[in-house]
Every structure is written in structure tokens, then in C-alpha cells.
């Protein structure tokens, strides 16, 4: 015997409050999704951009997320497997929601696919908005020069680099396209054994382009040499410190006023005697 199904009569008043509840729920969900999107849309401070990219703030304002740089990176003639002749993955990726970079913008992860420092730098000339500034990788003759790339700076973790343990390894040194320039091996006596020498990899910050080929080649489980944006790994001494042996630095000083040469920090708000004598009891 079938049970009789009772129909529930929804009054206009009940429908009104139900619609309000549904609308409120959808608004809250939309707000949470938007908050998550907005948070994900921001790039990590560790994001590495293509060669010749403008400063991050200017880059984000200028890049239209067209993907032409990534396409040119993938389609370059040298980007083929030597055996199969098939195209390898492009160095440059266009950020997706799961990436730690502003969605739709180009970036690369050296431990996955480093920059191979193509001599013709194909990713830069195709940029339609100059978010990739071709002048920054052009020499005095107007020719593209891959040595002028500036994507980041390689940093060596001496605690995990096995070369600093005394184990002979020159993987990063050999992988560097600017051999014996961007990375040099520093010879040092191993006092622990008295027989072997250390061959310590030392990065020249003035030459390293941040291509990441060294990071990719590192033999340790987690790379002991890795590329980071320069602003994260380099300190800043302040304008009032001058390199007496550097003619350009001397010229910089001559063009600045005393006011421009003042560095303001939390400590500089106090007189020197205030913080130097902190905690000292003269009684």
C-alpha cells in the first residue's frame, strides 16, 4: 500500500526568508572564494621572472599575461631532446591557480627546468609591452647579450654542500654556462684530514645571471645551491658607506647631498651614546 506523500505548501513569507538565507550563503561563499583567489593571485617573494623582467611591481603593471614569452621559450630551436628531437618543457611557465605566482604571469622553477641562456634570448623580443625590457640585455652595440641577464642570484648553503665537507664535487661549477666566471672553485686545505683539499664553489654576484643550471645540476637530495631573487639575498650597506677604491662610487657621492647620504633606521633615531651604553651601569 503506497504511502501518501504530503505536499508542503511554501508560503510567500517562507520563500522570502529562504531566498535571503540562500543569497547570504552564496555571498559568504563568494567572499571566501574571492579572498582565496586574491591571496593566491599574489606572487611569492621567491618567484623568479624571465630574463630582462622589470622590477616586480612594474612588471605586474605592464605584463598583459599574453604568454608569448613562454611560447617563444618552448619553440626555440635549441629546445629539443638530443635523442628524440622532440620539444622539451619550456623554462617559462604561465602561473596557474596552484602556483605561487600571480595567475597568468610567466615564471620559472630552476630545479624543474632552468633557463638555458639562449644566445638570442627568444623570450624577450616578443614581449609586446616591454614588461621584458630588451634594453637591459642589449650591449653597447645594440646586440642581445645573454651575460646581461638578471633573473636572480645563486646562493650556496655551505652546511649542506658536500664540497664544504671535503667531498670532491664540481657539478654546479661544470653546469654553469659562464664557466669559471659566475662560479669559481676556491682551493682550501682540509685540516681535518691533512691530505685532501676543499674545492669550495664561490658565486660571483656581479656575473651570476640566476639561470639556475647549477641548482638543477646539484647532486644533493635538496639542492645546496639555489637561485633566489637578488633583493632577498643581498644586503644594503646604506648610501653613507663609500667604496674608496671605486671611481663610480666616488662619483655617486659627489652628486649627492649630505641629506641624501643619511640612512634612516630604528637605531639611527637614537644618539650613538644612547644605544652603545644601553645596559651599562657606571655606578
Percent of the chain with pLDDT over 90: 56
* Highest mean pLDDT (candidates 75-84, 112-121, 246-255): 112-121
CATH placement of domain 152-235: 3.30.70.20
What is the C-alpha to C-alpha distance for residues 223 and 215, in angstroms, rounded to an integer? 6
Let me know: does 260 contact 231? Beta carbons within 8 Å.
Answer: no
Rg of the chain, C-alpha, whole Å: 28
| pLDDT tens digits for range 245-255 | 888 888 887 77
Residue 12 has pLDDT above 80, yes or no: no
**Grid cell listed for 56:** 616586480
What is the C-alpha to C-alpha distance for residues 215 and 109, in angstroms, rounded to an integer? 10
What is the C-alpha to C-alpha distance for residues 74 and 113, in angstroms, rounded to an integer? 11
Q: Give the residue range(s) of CATH 3.30.70.20 domains in the chain.
A: 152-235
| 154 pLDDT tier (thresholds 50, 70, 90) | very high
**Whole-number pLDDT of residue 147:** 96
Q: Is 40 helix (H, G, I), strand (E, B) or coil?
A: helix
Residue 34 has pLDDT above 50, yes or no: no
**Whole-number pLDDT of residue 189:** 82
**Grid cell listed for 117:** 641562456
Mean pLDDT (the chain) is 84
Residue 66 has pLDDT above 60, yes or no: yes
Residue 80 has pLDDT above 50, yes or no: yes
**Grid cell listed for 249:** 662610487
Span 109-124, average pLDDT: 95
| pLDDT tens digits for range 215-231 | 999 999 999 999 999 99
Longest C-alpha distance within the chain, in Å? 103
| pLDDT tens digits for range 193-218 | 766 788 999 999 999 999 999 999 99
Let me know: does 98 contact 37? Beta carbons within 8 Å.
Answer: no
**Whole-number pLDDT of residue 83:** 82
What is the C-alpha to C-alpha distance for residues 225 and 176, in angstroms, rounded to an integer? 12
What is the C-alpha to C-alpha distance for residues 200 and 223, in angstroms, rounded to an integer? 15
Span 20-38, average pLDDT: 58
**Grid cell listed for 133:** 625590457
202 phi/psi in degrees, rounded to 5: -120, 125
Q: Is 198 helix (H, G, I), strand (E, B) or coil?
A: strand
**Neighbouring residues of 213: CB distance < 8 A, sequence distance ≥ 6:** 110, 114, 115, 116, 117, 175, 176, 177
**Neighbouring residues of 250: CB distance < 8 A, sequence distance ≥ 6:** 242, 243, 244
| 73 pLDDT tier (thresholds 50, 70, 90) | very high
Other Cβ atoms closer than 10 A to 228 = 18
Let me know: does 85 contact 91? Beta carbons within 8 Å.
Answer: no
Amino acid at each position: 500500500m503506497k504511502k501518501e506523500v504530503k505536499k508542503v505548501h511554501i508560503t510567500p513569507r517562507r520563500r522570502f526568508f529562504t531566498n535571503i538565507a540562500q543569497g547570504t550563503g552564496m555571498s559568504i561563499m563568494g567572499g571566501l572564494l574571492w579572498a582565496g583567489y586574491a591571496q593566491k593571485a599574489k606572487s611569492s617573494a621567491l618567484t623568479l621572472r624571465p630574463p630582462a623582467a622589470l622590477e616586480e611591481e612594474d612588471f605586474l603593471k605592464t605584463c598583459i599575461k599574453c604568454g608569448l614569452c613562454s611560447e617563444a621559450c618552448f619553440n626555440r630551436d635549441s629546445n629539443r631532446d638530443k635523442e628524440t628531437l622532440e620539444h622539451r618543457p619550456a623554462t617559462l611557465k604561465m602561473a596557474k591557480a596552484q602556483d605561487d605566482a600571480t595567475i597568468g604571469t610567466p615564471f620559472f622553477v630552476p630545479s624543474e627546468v632552468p633557463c638555458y641562456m639562449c644566445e638570442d634570448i627568444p623570450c624577450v623580443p616578443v614581449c609586446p609591452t616591454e614588461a621584458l625590457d630588451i634594453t637591459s640585455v642589449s650591449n653597447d652595440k645594440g646586440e642581445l647579450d645573454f651575460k646581461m641577464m638578471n633573473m636572480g642570484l645563486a646562493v650556496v648553503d655551505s652546511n649542506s654542500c658536500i664540497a664544504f665537507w671535503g667531498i670532491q664535487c664540481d657539478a654546479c661549477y661544470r653546469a654553469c654556462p659562464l664557466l669559471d666566471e659566475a662560479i669559481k672553485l676556491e682551493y682550501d686545505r682540509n685540516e681535518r684530514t691533512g691530505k685532501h683539499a676543499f674545492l669550495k664553489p664561490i658565486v660571483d654576484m656581479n656575473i651570476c645571471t640566476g639561470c639556475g643550471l647549477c641548482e638543477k645540476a646539484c647532486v644533493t637530495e635538496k639542492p645546496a645551491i639555489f637561485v633566489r631573487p637578488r633583493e632577498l639575498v643581498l644586503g644594503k650597506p646604506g648610501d653613507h658607506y663609500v667604496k674608496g677604491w671605486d671611481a663610480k662610487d666616488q662619483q655617486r657621492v659627489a652628486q649627492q647631498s649630505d641629506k641624501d647620504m643619511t640612512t634612516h633606521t630604528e637605531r639611527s633615531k637614537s644618539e650613538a651614546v644612547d644605544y652603545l651604553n644601553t645596559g651599562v651601569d657606571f655606578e
